[in-house]
């Protein structure tokens, strides 16, 4: 879903979203319907655009990814240090 929101920062047609995100038409319809229903994306004349709420979601998602990536890296470093100590 984040990939769809990130791609739709400018108005883009459904087919371009489908090809860019590597989704089937059926999958894309499901995701677009959900994103539209929760107000993360807007649909105007066959083009989709990420809303302000969608942009806020993307920022929060990026922060969460950074937190998790940092945590995973820290965990790996701790494991490597323990292995060296043994």
**Domains in the chain with CATH codes:** 2-85 (1.10.10.10)
Residue 13 in 3-state DSSP? strand
pLDDT, tens digit, for every residue of 25-78? 999 999 999 999 999 999 999 899 999 999 999 989 888 887 777 656 555 545
Mean pLDDT of 79-84: 53
Helix axes 25-37, 14-21, angle to 10 degrees: 110
DSSP string, 46-81: TEEEE-HHHHHHHHHHHHHHHHHHHHHHHHHHHHHH
Report the distance separating Cα 40 and Cα 53, nearest Å: 5
The pTM score is 0.76
CB neighbour class for 3 (10 Å; exposed up to 12, middle 13-18, buried from 19): middle
Q: Chain-wide mean pLDDT for the chain?
A: 85
- CB hemisphere CA count around 22 (13 angstroms): 1
């Amino acid at each position: 879903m984040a990939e769809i929101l990130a791609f739709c920062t400018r108005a883009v047609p459904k087919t371009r979203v489908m090809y860019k995100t590597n989704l089937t038409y059926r999958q894309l319809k499901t995701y677009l319907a959900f994103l539209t229903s929760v107000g993360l994306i807007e649909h105007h004349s066959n083009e989709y655009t990420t809303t302000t709420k969608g942009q806020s979601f993307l920022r929060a998602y990026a922060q969460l990814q950074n937190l998790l990536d940092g945590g995973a890296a820290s965990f790996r470093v701790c494991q490597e240090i323990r292995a060296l100590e043994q």
